[in-house]
Structures are given as structure tokens and as C-alpha cells.
Structure 1
Amino acid sequence: MSLDIASLPSSDLDPFSIDFFDNPFPDHERLREAGPVVWLERYGIYAVARHAEVHQVLNDWGTFCSSRGVGLQDFSREKPWRQPSLVLETDPPEHDRARKVLARVLSPVTMRELRDGFAAAADAMVAGLIGRKLDGIADLAEAFPLSVFPDRIGLTQDGREHLLPYAGLAFNAFGPDNALRREAMARAAPHIAWVTEQCRRENLSPDSIGARIHAAADSGEVTADEATLLVRSLLTAGIDTTVNGIGAALYCLARFPDQFAALRADPKLARNAFEEAVRFESPVQTFFRTTTRETELSGVPLPEGTKVLMFLASANRDPRRWDRADAYDITRKTSGHVGFGSGVHMCVGQLVARLEGEVVLEALARHATGIEIAGMPVRSYNNTLRGLKALPLHIR
């Protein structure tokens, strides 16, 4: 199979630049309109920005694998910066073995067990914010997940300040060797050391989710070392995706007061309001896959061993898939969005993120009469994640 790159639509876009991160949406539209597959000249890779192609790549792990890395780095040619994740950076059947353990400990039954405690904590936290000017990120989007999730994983109280930098590091590492990645790597050592140590069985509290993962080593489902890696995976997937998802929901509800009014009128829309914020803002912006063989994608031949960059955020606003794609609508049927991925590699922390997002928005619907932006939001820059560093709010 041969492909004349010159015949493909191409772009000199740098999707890992600060200018792009500040406002990616016009470039998303240009990529979608250029064609189903676009050649990114700067990195010598293929890119897909339409929903149909992104969904196809995500769901065909046999052709578009994760085991060669879900970032720009190709693990078959370069040494990974850390031991690869057993769920994010493997493929079946190895992936299935690890995923089965996580699916059991993070089952819908577990979420029901967690719900009352999470809801009570959200209610108390939100009630204490009414009538205040606050930072919606530090005081709620970060504060709530960090107050409930690490406890259930079984982590010690000391040292939790390492959690957010570690998760940010992991997502920055999926990008190219740019300033963001280099700065994150330069600061990485203490965060990696703390997280690695805390994920060991002897450092987790009994009857925690982390301890249940390690119990799978007793039955031979995974090894003791693999159990440690699985706990690590939860700390990456269950913190940053939740923080940025809640932050996105707050940012949306503050900008679209009619949608907050609809949520107040029907608090049962809280789950969908969170889900729509994940579609609309896409906290996880991009992921890579690598072709395992010569193939075709929407009629475009792709050689074996090439990186394909999926613009998840662009797919989530593709007008070919969504009516009024650029509108935040909490009554929208959001099924099919790829904010948490799709297929066998769908985000392992999605149930936790959805539960936490739902209970926070339910609490806001009960206690608040309005949410207003009270200052200039400050964006947080990361090669993979989209979120805010600060979001000044007034919650009435």
C-alpha cells in the first residue's frame, strides 16, 4: 500500500501550542472541514477530527493499538518514560485481565455504596460556599474530589499535594518534547516517588478500593506489582478527569444562566448537565493510537506503524454528529460523546467522575440561586487536558 502524502489535506497546525490551547475551536472546524484524515506537517502524523473517524479509531483496538503508547512516543521504538499503564497502554488480552479487576472494584454497586457519602460531602461543601466569592477550581472542582476520592482509594492524608501534579505530569507526557513536557518532567521525581509508594498494599487502608485491587493478587488475577500499577492508574484517571470535568461544568453553568435555571428547576438533570459539560469542553482533548497494519480509514490508506492523533474535543462538537454542536444544552442526549473515550479503553475513572460531578451539581441546584463569573478565568496548560487554573465565581 502506498500513499502520496501530497494528495492528503495537510495543516501546519501545532495542536500542542499555547495559542492553540487558548482557543482550539476554530482550528477544530478547519480540520473537520479539510477532510476525514489530515496530515499534520509539523509532527509527520495523521489526524482525525470528525466524530465518525475518531469513534472508529477508538473502537478498533486491533488496528489502532494503545500498546505502542497513547501519546506521540512510540513504545516500540522508544523507551517509555514510566512503566506503561496496564489499562491505558495495553491491548487485549492483557488489557482485559487488568480491566476486569478495575471493573469489579469500581462497579455500579460500588458507586451506589459511595453515593450517600459523596452526596453528603458535596452538600456540606456547597452549602458553605453560598454567598461567597471564591475560586471555583481550588475551592470546589479540586477541593471536592480531593476530599472524597483519595480516602476511598485508601491513601494517607499526608502528601496528597502530589496527586494533581502527578496526574498533570502523566497527561503532559503524552505530548511532544515541548516546554510543557520538559517542565513537568523536571519536577516529576518527588510526585512519582510519593504516588508509587502510596500505591503499595502496605500503605493503603484496609477495606479501601486500593486494598480490593491488591486482593486480586491473592487470587492470582494480577501480580502484586501489577496491583500497584492498577492503583496508580486510578489516581491518574480518577483525579484530573474529575477535577477538569467539574471545573468545566461550573464554567458552563456560570456562562449560560438559562441552563443553570433549568438545572435548578429540575435537579435530576445534574448528571446530564455534567455529561454535557464533558462533551462541550472535553477535559481530555486528544489521544494517539498507532496502526498495527496497513489499513484504510475513510478511504485513506495508512501504513503500518504510524501515529494517528484523535481530536476528541473536535469530535464532540462535530455538527455531523450533534445538532447545535456549539451550544451547551443540559437536556441534550449526550450518548455517543467521546469525552471519556470509547471502546475497550474507555476511561477507568468515568463512573467516579460522573458520580462526583452529579452530586456537586445536585448540591448547587439545591443551595444556589445563581452562579456568576467574578473575574478573569485563568487557563491551565497541558498537552492533553483542557481546564482552568482559576475560575473566580460568586455563588448566590
Structure 2
Amino acid sequence: MTTPTAPPAAIPHSDADPFDEHTLLNPLPLQRELRETAPIVYLSRYDIYAVGRYAEMSEILTDWQHFKVGGGVGLTNYYKEKPWRPPANPTETDPPAHDATRRVLASVLGPRALRRLRDAWFEEAAQIVDKVVENKEFDAVQALGSFPLKVFPDAVGLPAEGRENLLAYGDLVFNAFGPKNALLQRSATRLVELSEWVTTLCRRESLTPGGFGAEIWAAADRHEITYEQAPLAVRSLLSAGVDTTVHGITAVIRALAENPDQWSYLRTRPELARVAFDEALRWSSPLQQWFHTTEREVEFAGITIPAHSKILLIAAAANRDPRRWKDPDAFDLTRDPSGHLGFGTGIHQCVGQHIARLEAEAIITAMAQRIRTIEPIGKARRQLNNILQAWDSYPIRIT
């Protein structure tokens, strides 16, 4: 906790804790409360501001001149504290430092990569689904949600050994976006080990030719980015491109299992696989919340926010804002979910979102071609994280 900086008296105050473990297990009530209280709320426990409405969050995400990621996208304030790792580039850098790395990543992960990977990923997804459907009952997280753990590291060019560390590293990264609570303490028991591992992994000599990582280093050879920026760009793929997609695929399987009418509809319209993924990200966003920071005093939503103030952007609340979405609590494949904030928006919108959509489309299409019904069974088990809505286990039965 930090010392409060006397927020404006006009702003509603709350002592709620969005990082409390009970809240993380069931976040919707607090998200709804904060969203419906006011456009912006002061959370006294952490001396931060919180935004849960769609319009206001969109405004902050697109106004990078006033709301910065350079202060860190977690609770740690880089204007006041030294981060535990080098700031991510481009996700924790603002223009102009952000621009070159963003351009390189957009090129590396662009349409050419999608065309090159599409057939192989669809074939891989079909093989995985063919194998698991023989069991009729299985854990969707382990059997299907883990699909990105195979295809994405291959595409980056990672060695086979050590890939079991990817989820642990991602868990640490996203827990570190929150407070120094028990969740972070548990993740941080491997901080030194995982930090050294990922630093080594991002070096040129660790990456196989032809992968995303090698292409990033080739961009440094062409002087499109510096040699100092190249390993940070590779690391950004590993920090943001694995956990979020694993839990995103689990989210869409969960949504379809709990809404059998929508699964039946999808089976008649398999071309809606990507729509199903985006609607699942809107309905149950894996990336629940993150931060931006004011660099200087800002007027917003009728109040003055002091310089170097942290603002918690609750994407999961904005994605169910009834001001933006009709019947927002329903998972509905007839809806157009484009515009959801699960990937952010503006200049910092997720640069790898089309890769994630391709991974999800491959596995959902393979399922739709082979599975008649899905239903949840047994007891699902959440994996608690300060930022992600993640699952350790989600058992299902299929025909």
C-alpha cells in the first residue's frame, strides 16, 4: 500500500480490494459495483483510480498523450519505483520509443505469418482433437487449451527444452502487475531462475532460424530496431503471447460448454469460430485488468487526476458495460463482439491478436467438425492470478 495523495472530494471512494483472492475467484460483483458507481472511482487501499465503463476506458486507451504505459502497466509506478525487470517494449514504452519495435512486431506477426502458419496449425489442431475425443471425458485446459504451448513456441523458434517454464514465467509476469500479495510471493519463489531462463532464451543464439525471434533479430541487423531492443521484443512475445491465448481458448470452450444452444449454432456455422473466440474474450476476458499512469495532471470525467497517478483499467467490467452492449451478460454468437477491450485498443492494442485468433480458430474449427455436444462435468478449478482469469482445470464430457 502507498500513502494516499488526497484525491478530489467529488470522486466516489471505495476501500474494495480488486486483488483479494475471494474477489479474484468471483470478480463480477465488484466489477459491476465499480462500473455502476461512477465513471471513475478512487480505491483508497492502493491510492489508485479505477475505471470500469467502456467509453471512459476506451478514451484512456486511445489518449496515450495523457495516459502512459511508460509508468508501467502494473501497480508498480515506474515514475517512483524501479521495476523488477527492464520495461517491456513496446507494451511499457510510449512514442517515440515504442514505435520502431511496434512496427517490427506488426510486420513479423502480420498477414505473411498468418498465411504461412494457417495450414500447419489447422492440421495440428485436428490431430489434437482427434486424439482427445477418443476419451469422451477429459480436462479441456490440459487437452485443448494447451494447443498454443505447442504451436506458438515453434513459431517463435524456441528450443524444445525448458518450454514447461513458459506458463510459470507468464504467471509471474502477470502476478507482478498487481500488489505484493501472497499470489506474487508464490510466483516469485522462482523469480531469479525464470528471469535468467527467459534472458537466455531471447538471445539470438537460442532461437532457431526462420522463427519470429530470428526475424526480430534480423530487423536489428537492418537497423530497424537496436540490438538492445531485439531481446526485449522477443521477451514481449513470451510474456504476453502464451498465457493469454491458453486461457482465452479455455474461456471459449467454457462459454460453449455452458451455453449448449450456442455450441449447436456454431456447429451449423463453423465460420463463426473467430466470432466465438472474440465473444468469449468479451464475456470472460482472460486479461481482466491492467494499469496506465498519468505523466502529468489530467482533467478526466469531470475531475483532476494528479500527475503520476495509477489508473486501473478493468477491461472485464467494460466488456460487460450495458451502455455499450445489449444483454452484456449473455454469451451470444449472433452479436458482433468487435470492439471488445480484451486486446486493448489504440496504439498499444495487442500486436499479436491475429496470431491468437488463428490459434483459437484452428482448435474451435477442429472441435466443431468432430464434437456433437460439450458439457461441463466435475469441479472446475481456477488458477488465481492478480491480472488473468485463468483455469488449472476445466473437465468436460463430449459426444
Question: What TM-score does the superposition give when structure 2 sets the normalisation length?
Answer: 0.97
Q: Is the 8 A contact 1:289 1:309 kept in 2?
A: yes
Aligned residue number for residue 122 of structure 1: 125
Amino acid of the residue matched to residue 388 of structure 1? W
Q: Would you say 1:178 and 2:184 are equivalent positions?
A: no
Aligned residue number for residue 142 of structure 2: 138
Question: What TM-score does the superposition give when structure 1 sets the normalisation length?
Answer: 0.97
Q: Would you say 1:267 and 2:270 are equivalent positions?
A: yes
Q: Would you say 1:347 and 2:367 are equivalent positions?
A: no
Q: Is the 8 A contact 1:129 1:395 kept in 2?
A: no
Q: Would you say 1:63 and 2:63 are equivalent positions?
A: no
Aligned residue number for residue 172 of structure 2: 169
Amino acid of the residue matched to residue 43 of structure 2? L
Counterparts of 2:7 and 2:165 in 1: how far apart (Å)?
47
Aligned residue number for residue 218 of structure 2: 215
What do residues 88-137 of structure 1 show as CA deviations (whole Å, max 9, x unaligned)? 11001110111011011000221121111111100111111114211111
Counterparts of 2:120 and 2:185 in 1: how far apart (Å)?
39
Amino acid of the residue matched to residue 45 of structure 1? I
- Give percent identity, aligned residues only: 49
* Equivalences for residues 22-41 of structure 1 within 5 A: 22-41=25-44
Aligned residue number for residue 11 of structure 2: 8
Task: From the superposition, tell whether residues 179 and 4 of structure 1 become closer, same or farther in structure 2 (CA, over 3 Å).
Answer: closer
Counterparts of 2:9 and 2:98 in 1: how far apart (Å)?
37
Query: SS in structure 2 opposite 1:39?
Result: strand
Query: SS in structure 2 opposite 1:341?
Result: coil
Counterparts of 1:315 and 1:127 in 2: how far apart (Å)?
37
Amino acid of the residue matched to residue 140 of structure 1? L
Q: Is the 8 A contact 1:372 1:393 kept in 2?
A: yes
Aligned residue number for residue 289 of structure 1: 292
Counterparts of 1:189 and 1:351 in 2: how far apart (Å)?
32
Amino acid of the residue matched to residue 370 of structure 2? H
How far has the Cα of 1:7 moved from its partner? 2.5
Counterparts of 1:103 and 1:314 in 2: how far apart (Å)?
28
Counterparts of 1:10 and 1:362 in 2: how far apart (Å)?
46
Counterparts of 1:375 and 1:253 in 2: how far apart (Å)?
16
Aligned residue number for residue 248 of structure 1: 251
Counterparts of 2:116 and 2:334 in 1: how far apart (Å)?
27
Amino acid of the residue matched to residue 139 of structure 2? D
Note the residue ranges of structure 1 that are not aligned, 5 or more in a row. none
Q: Would you say 1:376 and 2:379 are equivalent positions?
A: yes
Counterparts of 1:163 and 1:48 in 2: how far apart (Å)?
31
Q: Is the 8 A contact 2:10 2:303 kept in 1?
A: no
Q: Would you say 1:20 and 2:39 are equivalent positions?
A: no
Residue in structure 2 matching 1:231, options 231, 234, 251: 234
Amino acid of the residue matched to residue 162 of structure 1? N
- Runs of 4 or more above 3 Å deviation: 2-6
Q: Is the 8 A contact 1:131 1:395 kept in 2?
A: no
Counterparts of 1:257 and 1:41 in 2: how far apart (Å)?
42
How far has the Cα of 1:268 moved from its partner? 0.3
- Superposed CA RMSD in Å reads 1.2
Task: From the superposition, tell whether residues 376 and 4 of structure 1 become closer, same or farther in structure 2 (CA, over 3 Å).
Answer: closer
Amino acid of the residue matched to residue 134 of structure 1? F
How far has the Cα of 1:364 moved from its partner? 0.7
How far has the Cα of 1:141 moved from its partner? 0.3
Counterparts of 2:25 and 2:157 in 1: how far apart (Å)?
37
How far has the Cα of 1:3 moved from its partner? 7.5
Aligned residue number for residue 198 of structure 2: 195
Q: Is the 8 A contact 1:3 1:301 kept in 2?
A: no
Q: Is the 8 A contact 2:49 2:312 kept in 1?
A: yes
How far has the Cα of 1:302 moved from its partner? 1.0
What do residues 311-368 of structure 1 show as CA deviations (whole Å, max 9, x unaligned)? 1100000000000100001221111110011111112321111110111111111000
Query: SS in structure 2 opposite 1:224?
Result: coil
Aligned residue number for residue 388 of structure 1: 391
Q: Is the 8 A contact 2:8 2:303 kept in 1?
A: no
What do residues 278-309 of structure 1 show as CA deviations (whole Å, max 9, x unaligned)? 11101001111111222221212211111111
Amino acid of the residue matched to residue 114 of structure 1? L
Q: Is the 8 A contact 1:273 1:331 kept in 2?
A: no
Q: Is the 8 A contact 1:86 1:95 kept in 2?
A: yes
Task: From the superposition, tell whether residues 239 and 382 of structure 1 become closer, same or farther in structure 2 (CA, over 3 Å).
Answer: same
